[in-house]
Chain A
Amino acid sequence: MYQFPAGFYADVRIEKVFRSLVRIETGRLEEVKEKDDTGAFIRLFDGQRWFYASTTDLGSIDVELAGLAKLGQADSRINEHPTVRKMQVNTGDHCRFVQTCVSKVQLSEKIALTESFADLVKNDGQISHWSASYSDAHIIKQFYSSLGANLKFDTQTAGLRLGFRFGSGANVFSETWCKAMSEFKPLAGLHHEAREMIEKAREFFTSAEKIQGGNYTVVLSPMAAGIFAHESFGHKSEADFMIGDEGMKKEWQLGKRVGSELLSIVDDGNLPGSGFTPFDDEGNRAEKTMLIGKGILRGRLHSAATAAELDEAATGNARSINFEYEPIVRMTATYIEPGNCSKEELIGSIDHGILIESVKHGSGMSTFTLAPSMAYLIENGRVTRPVKFSVITGNVMKTLDQIDAVSDRLEILSFVGGGCGKMEQYPLPVSFGGPYVRVREINVQ
């Protein structure tokens, strides 16, 4: 056990990381990498200020702790500090991927799997550029605190990414198929799904037409709904943005109506996939947090410090991208909860609208945008033809209120090769999703 200095709260997070990567580009194997890294992040709190250090020398942790203690001022009552009281004292070994660890899979198998997906796009006369990559990560975290936490848990993702570009000159269309799982084996059964996406993209490339801008009823696919939930509302639920701002606290008071009564948004680190975070980087257990329940603001995402500041329960959302960074309030798996109508019913009542199937990127401050990749016109209750435009945009709060139908099947999407960015910390693995969501009066540009 470490020598935690008296009069301070302190914790140590040790990360043992295995990663591998295989990348094939336009028929050539470009990269094969396998690596093991270990590092530690050390935190010390004196009741006024936090002091952090990160190191790759695990033998120096006690020295680092002593060094940080010299920067602060000891307080014998530190354990009564509201922030420290929000730190759980979890213990035990909660690793669940030891048996199925991706480090046990030979690199040759990973290369063969990647090649089998590359086969779907290579020698395709319409595809001018493509890449296929496999990547995985198995991360074991050990967490120790001056309060007695002594915890070990792991997370794991293994996934494939297939990027392809049809055409040349001004007539080009790029699309990506990406999927992550918690284990290696199930990836071998995804060729059909990837092939379907390639053919959809081919049809889009050959027949999509520009559409007139204006206001449309828009149906968001689970991917589009998930990105919307993450970018437009999820980030606003991260409580660190409210610290010290009385106006913000009043504006975001729990119990306030913030959207249509058909809308419920949840964040839950317990869900398998790329957002899986059973404990956060302060050792607190992941909670299923209802952010919006039937249009009413029900909760928000917390670290120990923000939970103490707002006198709410910690939610297990203090996360960092790796051992070089401190945990800050982040999402895990964020999704819109399903409703009651079928996808067909949801689309069937639209005379003239748009279905957004896949999305290149999204953003959300007071105004949100989603840049679609593949979108389709809906005419007289049927999806008719592919259409292209730059972005959909609108006021976030108004849009939350304009949701008038939510389909009955939830889909959570997991990814590799990217993630969420906040401040200096990018990329953090997250997942997101939802059902199909219908929104009235969205501006299409």
Chain B
Amino acid sequence: MREKVTQIVKQTSLSIVQNEIQAVRRKNIRKTGCRVIADGKIGVAGGLGEVAAEDLFARAEKSLAYGIDYEVELSRNLQKQNCLDSFVISDAELCKRIENILGEVRRRHPEFAVSNKVNLSHIDFTLENELNLKLQHRDCYLSLSFLLKKQGSTGIMDTFFGLVDRRLEESRVIEAVSEVINAYNNLLPMPEQKLPVIISQGSLTRLFQRDLNGKMVGNKASLFQSQMGQKVFSDRFSLEIVRDPVETYGPDFDMEGTIPAAELNWLIKDGVILRPYTDKKTAHRYGFANTGCADGNYDSVPSLGGANVEIPHAGKTLAGLLNGQPGLMIQIASGGDFTPDGNFASPVQVAYLTDGQKLLGRVPEFTIKGSIFEFFGDDFIGVSSDKIYVNGNDRMLVARMAVEKL
């Protein structure tokens, strides 16, 4: 049986130095991967550019001899196409509009320099096989990554604005960058009272990437080994795999063409750990449900990667979760880590005081500490229903945690 992966990336990339476009890069790269599956084994081969699929299939067939096990049912009888590529903008127009943004930011904030990248990416990804499977994902989106640096500061950057979107709202970007810079310039003393901490979900859910990995659980190596099926976290805490291509900027199928039933997306529900995340091989090997988390390069044997997880919100905005008090919104927290038993500590390089609607000012550097069982247990406040544009247009996690001045 044969499967083919085709990935075409067309990208225009603008390099920004000191509020000016310093370089324009264009690329158009096609990658093709071919798999041959026979007698419970898999062989793979891949190539760049215009390559003959038959040659790749022949190479993949030859590599069956290595004896890599693949005793799974292939996905079949499904045709699906996600088309999210309606954002159209010429390179010249993109340059002009980005220059407008950079110019206005410079006019408003001459003491700050903007650098780094703007990428406009067209993605066309197809997975197909001889069992009537053809899944295609087409997308076009813009990634803005602005490093913001104050004149005279000795660091590489001082603060940041980043965004992925399928449109370019110039005035909204300018206002958001301005809000970040104004808040950065307004250094406040660290409030004396204990305030909720607002942080990106991924900073704390990354422990689940490691310890709810199906191989970890299957090999009895997970932190949560003895807690599977038990209530471990707050009633209000759940964790689900998200697949909506509109939200994730990725396909809703995995590298094995799996789109699992909706109920299998829940890894934790109402505080109870339900299941690990898996691909077909891991599910088959350890007797778990397949949650459709196969990953890998276009020319790799599909294997268990990470799960794109989110904590669902309960309908409260960030301001609602803060309930009238301010919170500490973490923007840059680099270098933190979990210990094997689930304790976490991280320095926070840049954080802002916020009322949930706007940034009020910057607070001095500090450290945060706590345990995964506390963050998502008694100390869990919630996830905002609104997306916070100044912080990457993400829904933010709010929790109580120990804050110590550096």
On chain B, the residues within 8 Å of A57 by CB distance are 49-50
By a CB distance below 8 angstroms, the chain B residues around A369 are 334-336, 346-347
A363 touches B334 (CB 8 A): yes
Residues of chain A in range 69-121 having any CB-CB distance to chain B below 8 Å: 71, 107, 111
Q: How far is the CB of A22 from chain B (nearest CB, A)?
A: 9
B18 interfacial by beta-carbon distance below 8 Å: yes
Is B156 a contact of A365 with CB atoms below 8 Å? Answer: yes
Instruction: Indicate if A368 sits at the interface (CB-CB under 8 A).
Output: yes
Contacting residues, chain A, for B221 (C-beta < 8 A): 128-129, 165, 167-168, 172
CA of A129 to CA of B285 in the docked complex: distance in angstroms?
A: 14
Least CB distance, B104 to chain A, in whole angstroms: 18
Chain A residues whose CB sits within 8 angstroms of the CB of B337 once the complex forms: 360-361, 371, 390-391
* Nearest neighbor of A364 in chain B, beta-carbon distance: B335
- List, in ascending order, chain B residues with CB within 8 A of A364's CB: 335
Q: Are B17 and A445 in contact (CB under 8 A)?
A: no
Q: A170 in the interface, Cβ–Cβ < 8 Å? A: yes
A360 to B206, CA, bound (A): 15
- The interface-forming segment of B24-32, B132-140, B186-194, B309-317 is B24-32
Query: Are the C-beta atoms of B23 and A49 separated by less than 8 Å?
Result: yes
**B23 to A, closest residue via Cβ:** A50
Q: Bound state CA distance, A369 and B345, in angstroms?
A: 11
Contact B67 A29 (CB under 8 A): yes
Complex Cα distance, B26 from A50, in Å, reads: 11
In chain B, positions 1-48 with a C-beta closer than 8 Å to chain A are 13, 15, 17-18, 21-30, 44-48
Q: Which of B146-202 contact A (CB under 8 A)?
A: 149, 151-157
Tally chain B residues at the interface, Cβ within 8 Å. 73
A129 touches B216 (CB 8 A): yes
Task: Tell me which residues from 5 to 51 in chain A have a Cβ below 8 Å from any Cβ of chain B.
Answer: 25-26, 28-33, 35, 37-39, 49-51
Is A436 an interface residue when CB atoms closer than 8 A count as contact?
Answer: no
Q: Does B216 contact A35, Cβ atoms closer than 8 Å?
A: no
- Set of chain B residues within 8 Å of A71, measured between Cβ atoms: 24
Flag if A371 contacts B15 (CB, 8 Å).
no
Q: How far is the CB of B152 from chain A (nearest CB, A)?
A: 3
CA distance A361 to B113 in the complex (A): 29
The CA-CA distance from A245 to B151 in the complex, in Å, is: 6
| Residue pair A31, B68 in contact (C-beta under 8 Å) | yes
Task: Compute how far the CA of A393 lies from the CA of B368 in the bound complex, rounded to whole angstroms.
Answer: 13
Given that A31-B303, A56-B48, A168-B220 are contacting pairs, would A251 and B15 also be in contact in the complex, using a CB cutoff of 8 Å?
no
Contact A170 to B152, CB < 8 A, known contacts A52-B25, A367-B347, A423-B117: no
Name the contact of A366 in the complex, choosing from B46, B145, B342, B349 (C-beta under 8 A): B349
A445 B21 Cβ-Cβ under 8 A: no
Number of A-B contacts (CB under 8 A): 199
Closest to A370 in B: B335
B152 lies within 8 A of A248 (CB): yes
CB distance from B349 to the nearest CB of A (A): 5
**Is B50 a contact of A244 with CB atoms below 8 Å?**
no
Interchain CA distance A171-B21 in the complex, whole Å: 51
B139 CB to nearest A CB, Å = 17
Q: For the complex, is A243 an interface residue (Cβ under 8 Å from B)?
A: yes
Contact check, B341 vs A170: say whether CB atoms are below 8 A apart.
yes
| Cβ B47 vs Cβ A50 within 8 A | no
Mark out the residues of chain B between 307 and 365 whose CB falls within 8 Å of any chain A CB in the assembled complex.
Answer: 332, 334-347, 349, 365
Check if B336 sits within 8 Å of A28, measured CB to CB.
Answer: no
A164 to B63, CA, bound (A): 28
Contact pick for B219, options A129, A236, A370, A423, CB 8 Å: A129
Report whether A49 and B113 are in contact in the complex, using a CB–CB cutoff of 8 Å. no
Q: Are A171 and B18 in contact (CB under 8 A)?
A: no
B-chain residues with CB within 8 Å of residue A246 when the two chains form the complex: 151
Chain A residues lying within 8 Å of B29, measured Cβ to Cβ, are 39, 54-56, 324
Separation in Å of the A58 CB from the closest CB of chain B? 9
- Cβ-defined contact, B226 with A53, below 8 A: no
A-side contacts of B284, CB under 8 Å: none
Counting CB contacts under 8 A, is B225 at the interface? Answer: yes
Contact B406 A128 (CB under 8 A): no
Q: Does A335 contact B (CB under 8 A)?
A: no
The reply to whether the CB of B222 lies closer than 8 angstroms to some CB of chain A is yes
Bound CA–CA A437/B339 (angstroms): 25
State in angstroms the CA–CA spacing of A445 and B48 once bound together: 47
Residues of B within 8 A of A172 (CB): 221-223, 340-341
- Confirm or deny: B116 has a beta carbon within 8 angstroms of a beta carbon on chain A: yes
Complex CA gap A363/B24 in Å reads 30
Is residue A319 within 8 Å, beta carbon to beta carbon, of the partner chain? no
Given the interface pairs A31-B68, A365-B155, A445-B345, the reply to whether A424 lies near B225 with Cβ below 8 Å is no
Q: How far is the CA of A92 from the CA of B215 in the complex (A)?
A: 50
Per the bound structure, the CA–CA distance linking A51 and B24 in Å amounts to 5
Interface status of B61 (Cβ within 8 A of chain A): no
B215 touches A25 (CB 8 A): yes
B117 contact set on A, CB distance < 8 A: 423-424
Inter-chain contact B332/A365, CB cutoff 8 Å: yes
Is B205 interfacial (CB 8 A cutoff)?
no
A241 within 8 Å of B (CB atoms): yes
Cβ contact within 8 Å between A326 and B27: no
B367 at interface (Cβ–Cβ under 8 A)? yes
Given known A251-B152, A252-B154, contact A31–B301 (CB-CB < 8 A): yes
Q: Are B345 and A390 in contact (CB under 8 A)?
A: yes
Does A390 contact B67, Cβ atoms closer than 8 Å? no
B395: min CB distance to chain A, Å? 24
Neighbouring B residues of A365 by C-beta, 8 Å: 155-157, 332, 334, 349
Query: Do the beta carbons of A371 and B154 come within 8 Å of each other?
Result: no
**Minimum distance in angstroms from B357 CB to a CB of chain A:** 28
CB-CB under 8 A for A245 and B149, given A55-B28, A169-B226, A367-B349: yes
Contact B339 A248, beta carbon cutoff 8 Å: no
| Measured CA separation A430–B342 after assembly (Å) | 31
In chain A, residues 201-258, which have Cβ atoms closer than 8 Å to a Cβ of chain B? 235-236, 240-241, 243-248, 250-252
Q: Which residues of B contact A235 (CB under 8 A)?
A: 156
B235 within 8 A of A: no
Check if A368 sits within 8 Å of B68, measured CB to CB. Answer: no
Q: What chain A residues lie within 8 Å of B344 (beta carbons)?
A: 390
Determine whether A388 belongs to the interface, using a CB cutoff of 8 Å to chain B: yes
Chain B residues in 8 Å Cβ range of A28: 69
Contact of A371 among B30, B47, B335, B343 (CB under 8 A): B335
Name B270-321 residues within 8 Å CB distance of A: 299-301, 303
30 contacts between A and B (CB under 8 A): A28-B69, A31-B303, A33-B44, A33-B63, A33-B300, A35-B47, A37-B47, A49-B21, A50-B15, A55-B49, A129-B216, A165-B216, A172-B221, A236-B156, A240-B17, A247-B153, A248-B152, A324-B29, A365-B332, A365-B334, A365-B349, A366-B349, A366-B365, A390-B338, A390-B344, A391-B337, A391-B346, A393-B367, A393-B406, A424-B145
User: Told that A174-B340, A248-B154 touch, could you supply 7 new A-B pairs with CB distance under 8 A?
Assistant: A31-B68, A243-B18, A252-B154, A365-B334, A366-B154, A369-B336, A371-B337
Give the interface of A toward B (CB within 8 A).
25-26, 28-33, 35, 37-39, 49-57, 71, 107, 111, 128-129, 165, 167-174, 235-236, 240-241, 243-248, 250-252, 324-326, 360-371, 388-391, 393, 397, 423-424, 445
